[in-house]
Structures are given as C-alpha cells and as structure tokens.
Chains A and B, each alone.
Chain A
Amino acid sequence: MRVTLATHGGLAAPVLAGLPPDVVDTHALPESAAAELSRLVAAATEAAAGAPEPRRRAPDAMSYSITVEEDGHSCVLVQSDTDMSPEFAALLRWLKEHAARE
C-alpha cells in the first residue's frame, strides 16, 4: 500500500506549494508500522464514508489530501482543519511524524 499526503492552503500557502508531497510505502516499513498505518487508513476511510460536506471555507485553514493506492485502486481522503474527524487526525499525525523522522 502506498500513502501520499499533500498539504494545501493555509496562511503560508505559497510557501508550502513548493514542497513535494510525503509518500509512504508499507513495503518499506517494519511489519508493526505497516500494520499500524493500515489500521489508521481503514479507520479514516470508514469515518469519512457518508460524512456530510464541509460547512464552509474558513480563512487560512489548511486542506489535506491523503491518497491511498493498493492493488490498482486508489482512494483520496480530503479534509481540512475545520472539519477533521479524529480518525483522519490520527492518520495525519502518523504521516507527519513519519515524515519528520525521514
């Protein structure tokens, strides 16, 4: 499974626009980390299914798109600072912590 995090907008939108997305491949992770990432992805995907549209565009809020690719299928989860589920927040934190360690 390949997971890609792209960050958009925010107070420093033009600064961040120049940065490449963070990519994680579970094949390159230790087994326990790969299992944890898979669990977080499944929880975030389940929480997002059937959820209502975001209520508004909040000035300077950031949006995050997390693309999950597996077995020829891809799924994109998009949430922002003002409408983030706890499950999405947990996945986002894991990806940011992983990127900071790389």
Chain B
Amino acid sequence: MNFFNIALLILLTGSLAALAIRRSSLASWVGTAATVTACLFALTSSLHVLLTGEVLRQSLPWSVPGGEFALLIDPLAAFFVLPISLLSLFCALYAGPYMRHSGQQRSLSSHWFFFLLMVAAMLLVVTAANAVLFLATWEMMTLTSFFLVAWDHRQAEVRKAAWLYLLAAHLGMMLLLALFLLAGDICNSFNFSDFGPLARIPLGSASILYLLALFGFGVKAGLFPLHIWLPDAHPAAPSHVSALMSGVLIKTGIYGILRVVSLLPAAPAWWGWLMALLGGAGALYGISLAAQQRDIKRCLAYSTVENIGIIFLGLGFGIVATAEGHPQLALLAFAGGLLHLWNHALFKGVMFLGAGTLMHATGTRDMNRMGGLLRRMPLAGLLWIGGSLAIGALPPFNGLVSEWLIYISLARAGAGVVGFGALAPLLLFGLLGLVGALALVTFTRLIGICLLGEPRDPGAATAREADPVMLFSMGTLLTGCLAIGLYPQGALRLMARPLSQVVQTSPEMIAGLGQQVAPLGFAALLLVAILLLTAGLLFVIRRHRPLAQGTTWRCGYRFPSPRMSYTGEGYGEFAAWHLLPAFMRPTVNGGHIVGPFPAPARLHQESTDPVLVRLLHPLFTGIAERCQRLRWLQQGQLSVYLFYIFIASAVLMAWSIWAGGRGG
C-alpha cells in the first residue's frame, strides 16, 4: 500500500508543482518525471497484488458525510491499475516532445496539472472502496479529462466535442448517483466492504441496480448506443490524451460494471445476454463506421467502440455461461474479455500515439492529405503497421489471443448445447468473424491511404521522422503486444487472480487455460520464424539480381499525379454501398453538374454518427421544445417565486410527515 500512496503523493505534488511553473519546458520535465516515477510505484504495487494475491487496504477518516478515504487494492483493482500505470507512463514520456511546439505558444503548466490529476483520479477510481470517494474521484476524472480534451479550445469543434463529452459523462453520473444512493440505502453504509447485504436482495431490485450500473458506467465505457461522445472527443484531444482515454480511462467504466456485478446476487442469464448483444452490436456498428472516417483519429475512436464491444461481448457471454452453469465456458469468455481489455490498452496506445506522430509531422488529421509517409517516417510507420496488425487480431500479435478465447467459448457453447438455444452463440461467433473482416478493411485503408503510395499534400511530402522518445513509447507498447502474442500463457498467469474474482474457477482450470492458449503462441512463433526466413531469402536474392526502378504501371498513362491515387472515400465506398444499411452510409453533398456549360462543382462527403444525429439529436431537441411550453411558470415576479418556494416547502413537509408516519 505504501508504494501506491507514494505514487498518489507524487502525482498530487507533481500536479501542483507543474501548475506553479510558468515555463513550458520545465513544466513538461516535471510532469513527465512525476508521472514516470509515480507510475513505476503504482506498477510495482499492482504487480505485487497480481503475483502474490495479497489484498492491500487502508482507511483514513474523511470529513465528508458518509465518506471514508478507504482504498482497496484487490486483484480486480490491480488488474486495472496495471494498464493505467503502464499506459500513463508511456503517454507522459510521449507528451514531452509532442507538446513542445504547442508549449512555445502557451504555457503547458495547466496541461500537466490536469494530466497528473487525471492519472491520479484513474488510479483512485479503481481502488476506491467507498462510494462517496468513488463518485468524487469519478467526477474528478471526468473534469480533468474534460479540460484535457478542451486543450485546443480556440477551435469551435474542440469546444463542441468537449461539451458533448461533459454532457454525456454527467448523464451517466446521474445514473451512478442513483445506483450508489440505492445501494447505500439498502446497506446503510457507503463503504464497499459493508455492501454485503446487496448479495441478498431480491432479483427485481438487483436488476434495477444492474441496469443503472450498465448504462451509467456504459456511457463512460463507450457501450453502444451510449458511445456518442467518443468519436468527437478522441480527435479533439491531444494524441497522448486520446491514447490514455481510449486505452484506459474508458475501461474504468468496465471496472465499475464488474465491481457492481460482483457485489450483486448471482446474475441471471438475461443480464449477460443484454451486455453481450449490446457489445456485439457495438462491435459491428463501430467497425462499420470506422471504415468510413477520413479523420484518422475519428477512425481510431470508432475502432475503440468496436473493441469495447468485443470486450462486452466476452464479459456478457461469461455472465450467461455462469448463469447457465458452464464454468469452463465462462472462464474462457471472461479470460477473453479481460485479456482483450489489456490488449486494447496496448495496441490502441500504439495506434493513437502513432496517429499523433503523423499529425505532428503533416499538420493534419485528414488521411486524404497524407500518403507516402512510410518512406519519410520509416520507424513510426513500421510501428503503426504493427499496431494495425495487433488491432486487426492478426497473428502473431496479441489481439488474436483474446478474440480466440472468446471465439472458442462461443463455439463450444454452440457445439455443446442441444437444440436451438445454440444458435445465439453461434450467430455471435459469425458476427465476430464479420467484425474481424471489416477490421481488415478499416486498417488496410488506414495504413494504405496514410502511409503508402505517394504524398497527396505538401505537408506529407515534407514530413520527417518522429522524435526518438515518441518512437520509444510506441515501440515499447508494441513489444508488449508482440510478447503477449508469442507467450500468451504469461499474460493469463498474471490474470489468474482477477479472473478467479469474477468467475468461479479453480487453479487447475486456470492452468488448463494456459495450456490451451500455449499452441497459439507456438504457432505465432513458428509464423514469425518462417516469415523472417523467407524475407531473408528474398533479401539475399535481391542483392544478387539486377534491380531496375520505374514508375508504377498506370495503364500506359505517362503523367501520373498523386491526386489520381485512391482516397479514403474511394476505399470505403465499396463496403459502404454494398454492405452497410442506408442509414449508416456517409452523406454526400454537392457534386451536381448543371447546365450545358457547368461551373466547377464541389463534392463533399461526411460520415456522421447515426445514433447521435438520427436518434439522440431529435430526441433531445424534442424534449427541449416541450420544455419551452413550461416557460409561463417563469413570470419574473418575486412574489410568484416566493409562492413556489412556499409550495415546495409545504409539499416536502407533508411528505416527510407521511414518510415518518410509515416508520421510514
């Protein structure tokens, strides 16, 4: 526990110190140093818990009513502390060179203040053992990340994105307030350690609590259809902040759901089905829209929706399997979902940090203005391709391992159950396959349009390789991806204790799980070996054969221009018009040629979020219009308002007398 406290203290003093320093370079230095040391301490304590299983707890008095500064690092909390501290460490390292340019124009002290506080808030959220403390740190996490998203607040779209995020986060917060007030009312305490009676409440109230948790935490986690803030907020934020938010901040929502489910009575199957179906729908929805985005960070944000969907699919199916009495299948599904959570933190870190280096080098987020970057930024490009392989669940990287576990769980459920009950897991299995194939469309597009071909813009033509520190951060995260892909047993061994906390299992079953994935790591190793061998062979041959250079074949056309090469829209069009339903297609404006001597026409294509634009926007506009009708209540006269206060007090008094009469 001491190490964890030291980490928190370093983060808090570091944030204040950063706030006090006006000079950007010094503030960056202090911020980076504080985050790195603090994260190393937090990492040590989480590894200690994961390896030894010792539960660390501490409790300090706190003057807030109902509150207690109680921290608890059990394996489930440590499972989340590990990626939070790991990713924060590399994001902080990356932020130094990334923000250097921005720091010449304005002071970075406020950025580092909020960054350090956000890391501290995330660490506190997953370790808080008191509902009041939890909600306070949850709010602190929301506010600090809001300020980080709104860093470039001079741009209108950034302000809008940050505002949407704040709004969505607080709608979720209201559900969480209701959840913890109800739970606190049942248990007469706000300490998680006193939440024991929750496990004995009737199913009806438990379901209400579960739904509150699923949707309240789901907003933060990006659970479909509550993901609406995500595609706007991620592009608006600086890249290392997007990486941190997408990689770990939204995972605190999953932590919340897992924690609440572990407190509630044994879950009925429909809880799991609800989660798995929303997850599957989100995965398909997210990846289909990711294949349409021109903005590289928006594309990655939608891929986050997809991956969160896969995690929810795994965890939800795990709940189903537990409820229906298949502990083996539940273990596979939970292991897949949880491992995917770690994996996603690693490869989404690589991808967002890589997107940051491309933006930094070209000055744009628009993939149609990039191109040919692999020649100019060979290392950053290589790491980005590696990250894409991992995120597309391709061997030999880690994404395949976690998806494989979920696949196997679904397939075994489908093969084992008699009758049509087996159809649901089997269809989810096919859906996961479709999502994987669409991920291939998305990421070949992202890599192909951004990195390959010829530069489509002067900004891309003059791009230069990223700073070594930025490359080091990306490279280390990618090494982690490869390590889990080649040696998945290691990651599963580290996950054994958190797994046994969320699913009924025995050490033998966990050991068996390690043996099951071992061949996958072996196959990945074999693949790497044969690939290197063949590539070496080709390399040797190339040195001994005549080489000629020429231009690309363009059907005999002699004056090729980069403007003729494929664009992001062109690449996504085929899938959009042949695979997607009409409401998910991008909207095309303009492009009409009129008259016999037409003026130059312009064509603009845009992909907006259908849930936000077609569902939530009309809904909330409608509500706002209805509320307009209540404006006659606002008369603007003091006497009327006094009358309202009188009525309100009278009603409250009557209610308290009535409630008191019933003995409540």
Q: Is A bound to B?
A: no
Residues of B within 8 A of A (CB): none
